[in-house]
Structures are given as structure tokens and as C-alpha cells.
Amino acid sequence: MDTISRIHLDVLVDDIPAVEGVFPLHGLSVLVSVEYEEGIVKKLLFDTGPSYRVLLRNAETLGVDLNPDAVFGSLPHFHHIGALQSGFPSTPRVLPPPPLSATSRDFSQLQGFPGVFVLPSDSYWNEQGLALRTPKGWLVLVGCSVHGLRRTFGAELVGLGRIIGLIGGLNISSRDVFNMSFIGRLARCGLELVLPLHSTSMEARKTILKRFNSYDFGYEVSGCGVQADIEF
């Protein structure tokens, strides 16, 4: 069981709403449902956002059964994992080491999730992302890209090979030529699906979706409330 056939995304927390009825918050939470060829589905909550109450409310509004097999924290900041203070006490957690710690981190498989790997970063905050190995290439999730996408994850992303998808906090504004050019570089190497979320300005989201994304998410803007199926 290591061939991923489908991924379903539910964006439960984000800075900007994509649908009516959800509560936007500064932060991020994406429920990632990974389906394997055998029909087995594993659910991973990528970040939780700052409020457990809002997380539950948005999940209810979107009709999402919030019962993950594990919680993954990308960054040790309150707006990424704050809901863990009052939620998911018995759910396995995979959190980054403390900021500025000298803990050695390598590209490694996430326990219990075949084909899903922890993506380390070059960040003083010890930010970490996820890389999902699909039949078409890598699908990458990042939480904040706290030093900017290229500075935070650039070396790891370039070393992966073909990246078909990039989802999450890209930390880009519409005037950020440096990081926009880096996404363009990834696009020339096969990137075809981009869902910009937390820490990405509204104008940058629109630009990225127009220039670099060929997947039809069906939303006017990417943000809280986006639900999408990605098949391979």
C-alpha cells in the first residue's frame, strides 16, 4: 500500500474565505485525505489553525467529518497549531522541533502514511512541509514558507524532481518577483497545480492561479472552504 491514487483536500482554516458561511482566520488548516490503489483512505490534518472552535465550526459548515488519523504541524506558531491546546488530545501528532534547535532533520516517510514524506526546510524556525509521491510526480504542501518559498524550501523542492502540485502558505505578495520567478521555474519543470493559501496576498493568489495553475478548482479565489479532488 504505497501508490496514491487520489487526494481530497478540505481547506478548513485560511486568511481569506473562498465560500460563504466559513470563518476566515489568520492561519492554516487543510484536511488531506489520501486514497491508495487498494481503496484505503488515510486522513491527515495539516496544521490546525489557531482556534479549535472555529476549526470545528468550519468543518461542520463544509460537511467535513473531522476525525484525522494524525495531525501534522508545519510551524511551531500559534496560528498553525494553536487548536492543539484544546483539541485532538488522543490523535497522533507530528510536530516540528523547537525554533533554532540543532535537531537533524532529513527527508523521511511519515509514519503510518505510505508515499507521504516529511519535507525539511532551511529555516531557523524548523518549518516542515509534506511531499506526497503520486504516479505523476510530487504533490507538496507547505504551511507558511516563513522566509519566503524559495529561501525556506527552495533547495528541497529543486532536489525532489518533478513537482506537479504546490499547495499551502507560499508567503508571496504580488510584487515579490523573486518568489514568483521561482514558481515559474517549477512550472517550466512540470508544476501544473498550484493552490496558494495562507501568507499569500489576494493579488498574488489571483496572479498565481492565472499564470501557473491549470487545475480547475472551481472557486473565484483560493482560500477557506475550498474542497477539491485530485486524481492520478
List the chain domain ranges.
4-231
Give the model confidence (pLDDT) of 13-50 as tens digits: 999 999 999 999 999 999 999 999 989 999 999 999 99
Say how far residue 69 (Cα) sits from the centre of its chain: 16
Length of the chain counted residue by residue: 232
**Residue 1 pLDDT > 90:** no
Give the model confidence (pLDDT) of 93-146 as tens digits: 999 888 888 776 789 999 999 999 999 998 889 999 999 999 999 999 999 999
pLDDT-derived band at 55, boundaries 50, 70, 90: very high
Give the model confidence (pLDDT) of 134-182 as tens digits: 999 999 999 999 999 999 999 999 999 999 999 999 999 989 999 999 9
Kindly report whether the global pTM for this prediction surpasses the value 0.95: yes
77 within 8 A of 144, measured Cβ to Cβ = yes
Cell representation of residue 66: 473531522
Task: Please provide the CATH number assigned to the domain covering 4-231.
Answer: 3.60.15.10
What is the percent of the chain with per-residue pLDDT over 70, rounded to a whole number? 99
Say how far residue 49 (Cα) sits from the centre of its chain: 12
Contacts of residue 182, defined as CB under 8 A and 6 or more positions apart, other chains included, come to: 149, 150, 154
Q: Which helix (H) or strand (E) holds 226?
A: none
C-alpha–C-alpha distance, residues 160 and 164, integer Å = 11
C-alpha–C-alpha distance, residues 80 and 76, integer Å = 7
